[in-house]
Amino acid sequence: MPRYALMISALLALAPVASAQEARGPQDHRAVLHRPDDPFWSQKAPDVFRAHFTTTKGSFVIEAHREWSPHGVDRFYNLVRSGYYDDSRFTRVVPDWIVQFGIAGDPKVARVWYTRTFLDDSVRQSNVRSFVAFAMTGPNKRTTQLFINKGDNSRQDSQGFSPIGRVVEGMAVVDSIYDGYGENSGGGVRRGLQGPLVEGGNAYVDANYPKLDRLVKARIE
């Protein structure tokens, strides 16, 4: 067989593999959601990056800055690229205060991560409108839940809430996320009242709070 024919044959043999990789995409890492000790989770985030969130009300973009909150941004980066936030719910939306999300829709995944804490960071930015920070129950107790400040919540700076980034596109979408349930649907994290959301996942949330908006997909841009 001529040399060029052999080259073409080799390329054709590789094509299905390449296509499969492209179909999966660079962020198809959902299997690691069940392995919190996997080296995947130690990946350092870029200094600055953007995460695009698709929701039932439209899209918004969070721009994260690692220098603002290194531990927090690393956790956020790896959660997004793993697909952790995909098909979940905005469970705590309080008018003129915050939009909170971050409990996995799959109970098996939620149980793994609900108590998977990481270290605090100094507060280098303020919790004012459009800035994003991890929720927590106390020192070094951040896990996966994030909140977006809908107004000036700078009073929370002294409580140790360290912003990891800010919404740079689509804040109007954030404002439009359904807030009719207030604290009832997803509050009480410090009082241990989120158990049903963790154990029941999307099925529990959708049955009891059907008007809550959905986080369809999150991706690193």
Q: What is the pLDDT of residues 45-94, one digit of tens each?
A: 999 999 999 999 999 999 999 999 999 999 999 999 999 999 999 999 99
Rounded to an integer, what distance in angstroms lies between the CA atom of residue 198 and that of residue 204? 9
**Stretch 159-186: mean pLDDT:** 96
Neighbours of 84 (CB within 10 A): 25
- Two structure tokens written together for 35: 């392995």
Measured CA to CA in angstroms, residue 60 lies from 3, 48, 63, 127 at distances of 52, 17, 10, 18
Predicted TM-score (pTM) of the model is 0.86
Q: Is residue 203 over pLDDT 90?
A: yes
Q: What is the three-class DSSP state of 28?
A: coil
**The predicted structure's pLDDT at residue 193:** 72
* End-to-end C-alpha distance for the chain, whole angstroms: 45
Task: Say if residues 164 and 134 touch (Cβ distance below 8 Å).
Answer: yes
H-only helix segments in the chain: 3-24, 70-82, 107-113, 171-176, 195-208
**The predicted structure's pLDDT at residue 141:** 96
Rounded to an integer, what distance in angstroms lies between the CA atom of residue 192 and that of residue 194? 6
- Nearest-CA neighbor of 31 among 83, 74, 77? 83
**28-220: CATH class:** mainly beta
The lowest-confidence range among 29-38, 103-112, 189-198 is 189-198
**The predicted structure's pLDDT at residue 16:** 42
Confidence of residue 191 (pLDDT cuts 50, 70, 90): low
Q: What is the pLDDT of residues 1-34, one digit of tens each?
A: 455 444 444 444 444 433 333 333 344 567 999 9
